[in-house]
Every structure is written in C-alpha cells, then in structure tokens.
Amino acid sequence: MTVLPVMKMGRPILRERAVEVADPSDPQIAALAADMIETMEAEEGIGIAAPQVDVPLRLIVVLPIVERAQKKQAPPEPLVVINPEIVPLGDELVDGVEGCLSIPGLRGDVPRYRRIRWSGFGLDGQAIGGEAGDLVARVFQHEVDHLDGVLYLDRMRDLRSLGFVDALEGEDGQTPDDPAERE
Ligand code: NI
C-alpha cells in the first residue's frame, strides 16, 4: 500500500465529473481503495474521494465516525463505496464545520442534509447501502460532491465562517472568535 499525493484545489481533476467504475470487483480497484485508505489515514482525514488522488473514478472512502469527540476511541473500519448514490431523507439542512484534504488549513460552515440514504457497490461487487445521519451523512455528501467536481466552498452560504484552522483554534497566538469551532 502507498500513501498517494493529494491533489490540491486548482487541479482540473477536482472540477470534473468522475466516471463510473465498470467493474467494482476489479483487483485494481481494491488496490486503489487500499491506497486511498492509507492516504486518508496519513492525512488524518475522515473521508476521501478518488479524484483527490488523481483518479477520475466514482469511488469514495468514508470513515463512519459518529462524533469527532470519539476520535480517542478505536477508529471504525473505513467504508469503501463504489459508484455511490445518495438521496436526502427529509429537507432538513444543518450547518457544520468542514475541511478538505484538497484545501489544507481551512475550515468553514457548510449546510448539508441531516440524514441521507446511501447506496453503491462494495469491493466484492455486491450492492451495499444504508442510512446515515449527522457527521457521517455530511462526509458522504462531501465525498460524493468530489465525484461531481464540487468543493465545499461552493456550498458555503456565508464565507465569513471560512478561516484558517490555527486561527479558528487560537493556535496562531490570537484569541479565537468562536471556540466552538474546535474539532
Ligand atoms: Ni474534500
């Protein structure tokens, strides 16, 4: 397994629609997923999409972590979803803080559906799916957006919540305006 370079905002691949994976059970897809998981873990991310490692395929990894506060617990198994689809459950949108491995150092508030139903295929080629809420639903929406060339900045309703992580957390020597942004 290999930690792959993460494409940063500005790379055209992050603005293009990724294409469906023809054969989810292809061993090359399993190898890519393993590298994506290793890359996500090396970057301390909670999700990653194939275009972020310069592969224009519809494949995402989601760490189904329930709360950021539970980070100290053993991490859950990463969920690999090939050709993912998501459908909102209800109209409720909630703002939450997001960052992106392709936009390092920044965080901002992004509205997302609170609950979703997701579906797709696993590495064995079998159909998989389920429901997700809150942070996991947020990560799904963020990663599927990557497959459509959408970045979280595009979804922000108020760019004034955008900031550098170290400034938001007061680690630049200043007092943070909003300590609730900590994660
Ligand atoms: Ni991202």
- Measuring CA to CA, which residue among 119, 96, 107, 121 is closest to residue 29? 121
pLDDT above 70 covers a percentage of the chain that reads 90
CA of 110 to the centre of ligand 1 (A): 12
CA of 45 to the centre of ligand 1 (A): 9
Place of tokens 């390092």: 104
| pTM score, whole prediction | 0.90
What's the confidence (pLDDT) of residue 65? 82
- Residue 181 known to be catalytic: no
Q: What pLDDT does 72 receive?
A: 64
Catalytic residue (choose from 43, 77, 143, 181): 143
